[in-house]
Amino acid sequence: MSFKFNVIDDFDFKNKTVLIRIDINSPVDPNSGVILDDTRMKLHGETIKELSEKGAKTVILAHQSRPGKKDFTTLEQHSKVLSKNLNLEIKYIDSIFAHDAINSIKSLKNHEVLLLENVRFFSEESLSRTPKEQSKSILVKKLSPFIDFFINDAFAAAHRSQPSLVGFNGVIPSLAGRIMEKELKIIQNALENVKKPCVFILGGMKADDSIDVMENVLKNETADFILVTGLVANIILLSAGIDIGDLNVKFIKDKGHCKMVKKSKKLLKNYKNKIIYPKDVAIEDENGERVDVAIDKIPNRPIFDIGIESIKDYAKIIRNAKTIFANGPAGVFENPKFAMGTEDILNTIANSNGFSIIGGGHIAAAAVSMGFEKDMDHISSGGGACINLLAGKKLVSVEALEKSAKE
């Protein structure tokens, strides 16, 4: 894995109009419109401030949620939070490429920053097509005549092929922002110079992605041990011939993971000693209390966490690891009764001597909310993009940047 794209250091941005795509998709209270977490905005602050200091006229493209969801809203509140975090005025306009937006872009002065409206208000943004096709989108045609450089800093969305992410690359000079550059370098370096023993902790609800990661890192001998939790653990237990109860089997089938069960059986056959699954799990009893049960005594009740004995076993392996990748929580950590697995695993990682990378999404949110943020070597800003890299898949936005660099 080696990336060859242009970065901010390669160009002079003074008096230039720069379009930057960032990912500030944030939890929003659907009733008040108040942003509940500004982590991603703080992360992108480095690129935005640097461009402003270099004398650029900066135009920001971003999205919030998707049509039909309760937190699908304008970016007006985001501009206020960004302004506060960066101590820099972030102008906002409720337009993407209409006359008002174009006039605002044209009237920008050096060092000024303008945030355009939620790009997903534009229906074409929802279409997943090739970068070449996206370069012909209305969004690109309307904005590109007024832009000197395009910067993609949206690592969290780097696995998506949408106009705002890949459409500008073949039209105007394009480069990676600081977040994109940092994420790719850290993950690439960790995978290429992995220190042994290397442990992957895979859980959460995106079981198909996690099992793809498992297959990749076992085949290329990156991983010494795979510790499974969450839905991934349930699939592995089922694949190992464990009776996990009809309710849990039905949940796996309803999620469309039957193919993953077949794949897991093959992985268990070929890498039996490297895939470590729970010896006990946590369920909720008739009184609504947490009960830990051995895997040969699982009743027909939903599994919500790994059990205490499993937590102890996993902790021993994690403590001896030199490299640790963790993706996905161990259970329903939002419920305090079933947060034990996630909390103890994160605590063990935080106190270990190994180099740790925490995937984005729910596991990153859990690490922050539980106070482990400063004890991790790297918390990724993008769950989907991070897990795609770990699975050995290419990121379409990164490929587009590399192609632009060649051209």
Residues annotated within the binding site for ATP are: 334, 360-363
Return the closest-CA partner of residue 330 out of 340, 317, 316. 340
Determine if residue 15 is left, alpha or beta; phi over 0 gives left, psi from -120 to 50 gives alpha, anything else beta.
Answer: left
The string over 259-285, giving b where at least 16 C-beta atoms fall within 10 Å of a residue's C-beta and e elsewhere, is: ebbebbbebbeebeebbbbbebbbbbe
Task: Classify burial at 288, counting beta carbons within 10 Å of its beta carbon; exposed 0-12, middle 13-18, buried 19 or more.
Answer: exposed
The residue type at 3:
F
Indicate the annotated binding residues for substrate: 23-25, 40, 63-66, 120, 160
Sign of the alpha-carbon torsion through 123, 147, 15, 8: positive
Q: Dump the DSSP string for 79-111.
A: HHHHHHHHTS-EEE-S-SSSHHHHHHHHT--TT
Inter-residue contact 170 to 150 (CB < 8 Å): no
Indicate the annotated binding residues for (2R)-3-phosphoglycerate: 40, 120, 160
Length of the chain: 407
Residue 284 pairs with which residues in a beta bridge? 290
Indicate the annotated binding residues: 23-25, 40, 63-66, 120, 160, 334, 360-363
Return the closest-CA partner of residue 305 out of 233, 222, 255, 197. 233
Inter-residue contact 25 to 63 (CB < 8 Å): yes
Instruction: Show Cβ contacts of residue 121 under 8 Å, excluding neighbours closer than 6 positions.
Output: 96
Return the closest-CA partner of residue 77 out of 21, 27, 18. 27
Longest dimension (CA), the chain: 69
Inter-residue contact 20 to 180 (CB < 8 Å): no
> Measured between alpha carbons, how far is 147 from 158 in angstroms, rounded to an integer?
21
